[in-house]
């Protein structure tokens, strides 16, 4: 689901759940959006090894395309002791000098991209891949009951490094919990 809003009033300009339209709109702002299919059966209990094997063709395609050097699998569960701390870390607007790529093996979350005078809210679910270009302000809301497993791809050894913009824009937009209900 993609919702495009004005940055100042959060007024909705466009909303679509049609895959081709989402790909097209996000392409305009340099964001890659794909759907991946597992080549092997995996379950929520699958190991990191089993998960990466099931998506290896796609992982290697992107590694070649963008020069990624490493990848890992991260998990978040509603009973994670640091879920609030981690949620808040991603919930403030920030940029990266490297670009961010996430593939949702399971679960969901909302990316808020702020490349110009609009905010693009992308709700990602199982099978969705999204990239956030270097330097594009954005934030991510995993919700108050986070539950997901993601493959991350990196071009640097440092992994995830954020530069916070200091903006409070994220406070003026609906949180993921509200988006899920609405
Ligand atoms: Fe980020």
Angle CA 35–62–34, to nearest 5: 15
Residue 3 to residue 177: CA distance in whole angstroms = 15
Range of the domain at 41: 2-181
Q: State the total domains in the chain.
A: 1
The domain that holds 135 is classified in CATH as 2.60.120.10
CA 93 to centroid of ligand 1, rounded, Å: 8
Above 90 in pLDDT, residue 24? yes
DSSP annotation string for 70-98: EEEEEEE-TT-TTHHHHHHHHHS-EE-SS
Summarised one tens digit per residue, pLDDT across range 92-134 is 999 998 888 999 999 999 999 999 999 999 999 999 999 999 9
SS3 107: strand
Task: Tell me how far the alpha carbon of residue 111 lies from the centroid of ligand 1, in angstroms.
Answer: 9
pLDDT exceeds 70 at position 182: no
CA of 138 to the centre of ligand 1 (A): 6
Strand-pair partners of 14: 4
Give me ligand 1 centre to Cα 120, in Å: 14
- Total-model pTM: 0.94
Q: Using one digit for the tens of pLDDT, what is the confidence trace for 28-63?
A: 999 999 999 999 899 888 999 999 999 999 999 999
Ligand 1 geometric centre to CA of 7 (Å) = 18
For residue 181, the model assigns a pLDDT of 76
């Amino acid at each position: 689901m993609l919702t495009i809003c004005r940055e100042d009033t959060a007024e909705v300009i466009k909303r679509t759940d049609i895959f081709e339209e989402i790909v097209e709109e996000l392409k305009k702002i340099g964001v890659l959006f794909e759907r991946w299919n597992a080549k092997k059966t995996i379950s929520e209990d699958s190991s990191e090894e089993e998960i990466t094997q099931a998506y290896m063709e796609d992982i290697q395609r992107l590694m070649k395309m963008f020069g990624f050097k490493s990848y890992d699998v991260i998990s978040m569960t509603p009973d994670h002791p640091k879920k609030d701390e981690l949620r808040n870390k991603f919930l403030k607007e920030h940029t990266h000098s490297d670009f961010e790529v996430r593939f949702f093996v399971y679960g969901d979350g909302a990316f808020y991209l702020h490349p110009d005078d609009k905010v693009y809210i992308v709700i990602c679910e199982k099978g969705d891949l999204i990239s956030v270009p270097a330097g594009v302000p954005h934030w991510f809301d995993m919700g108050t009951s986070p539950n997901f497993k993601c493959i991350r791809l990196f071009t640097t050894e440092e992994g995830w490094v954020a530069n916070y913009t200091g903006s409070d824009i994220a406070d003026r937009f609906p949180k993921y919990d509200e988006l899920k209900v609405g």
